[in-house]
Amino acid sequence: MGKPDDIRKGQAQIVDAIKRSDVLIAVLSGGTASTSVMAELAFAKASGKPVAIVSKKVPRLARNLGDRFFRSVNDLEDVLHKSGPSALISPI
């Protein structure tokens, strides 16, 4: 495990990246998500950033945090190719 200062630096980098982003895309591999991923989703949502979640089975709490949901990366890719990135930023 990393040293506490290293962990804090990593967390600060994630916060800065979310602040600079236009949208947060989370790719979840299963029906659960780690606490840190859920915290990132919640932070992005609280910061007013759109949240797109890619998962075959979206975790229950993540359903409240996501704005757009995709069953696969291919589905996300299709939307991006057809409509461009604004499709993830604009309200549905």
Domain boundary assignment for the chain:
4-89
- Exposed (0-12), middle (13-18) or buried (19+): which is 2, by Cβ within 10 Å? exposed
Query: For position 2, what pLDDT does the model report?
Result: 63
Q: For 31-86, how does the pLDDT look when each residue is reduced to its tens digit (9 = 90+)?
A: 677 888 889 999 999 999 999 999 998 888 888 899 999 999 999 999 999 988 88
Range 4-89 classified under CATH 3.40.50.450: yes
